[in-house]
Chain A
Amino acid sequence: MNQKGIFKNVVVKKYIMGLSGLFLILFLLVHLSINLCALIPDGGNTFNELAEFMDLPVIKPLEVGLFIGFIIHILDALVLTLQNRKARKNGYEVSAANANSKWYSRSMGILGTLLLMFLIIHLAHFWFPNRFTGYELDGKESHNLYQLMLYTFNELWIVVLYVLVQISLGYHLLHGFRSAFQTLGLNHPRYNTIIEGLGVIYSITVPLLFAVIPVILYLRIHGYIPY
Chain B
Amino acid sequence: MSQKLDAKIPEGNIAEKWTKYKSTVPLVNPANKRNIEIIVVGTGLAGSSAASALAEMGYKVKVFCFQDSARRAHSIAAQGGINAAKNYQNDGDSIYRLFYDTIKGGDYRAREANVHRLSEVSGNIIDQCVAQGVPFAREYGGLLSNRSFGGTQVQRTFYAAGQTGQQLLLGAYSALQRQVGMGTVKSYTRHEMLDVVNIDGKCRGIIARDLVTGKLERHFGHAVLLCTGGYGNVFYLSTNAMGSNVTAAWKAHKKGAYFANPCFTQIHPTCIPVSGDHQSKLTLMSESLRNDGRIWTPKKQGDTRKAIDIPEEERDYYLERRYPAFGNLVPRDVASRAAKERCDAGYGVGTSKMAVYLDFAANMKRYGRVEATKQNIHNPDEETIVRLGKEVVKEKYGNLFDMYKQITDENPYEVPMRIYPAVHYTMGGLWVDYNLMTTVPGLYALGEANFSDHGANRLGASALMQGLADGYFVIPYTIGAYLSNEIRTAAISTDHEAFVEAEKNVQSQIEKLMNIKGTKSVDYFHKKLGKVMWDKCGMARNEAGLKEAIAEIRAIREEFWKDLRVPGSANEFNPELEKAGRVADFIELGELMCKDALNRNESCGGHFREEYQTEEGEANRDDADYAYVAAWEFNSVGEWTLNKEELKYENIKIAQRSYK
A and B touch in the complex (CB under 8 A): no
Chain B interface residues (CB < 8 Å from chain A): none
Chain A interface residues (CB < 8 Å from chain B): none
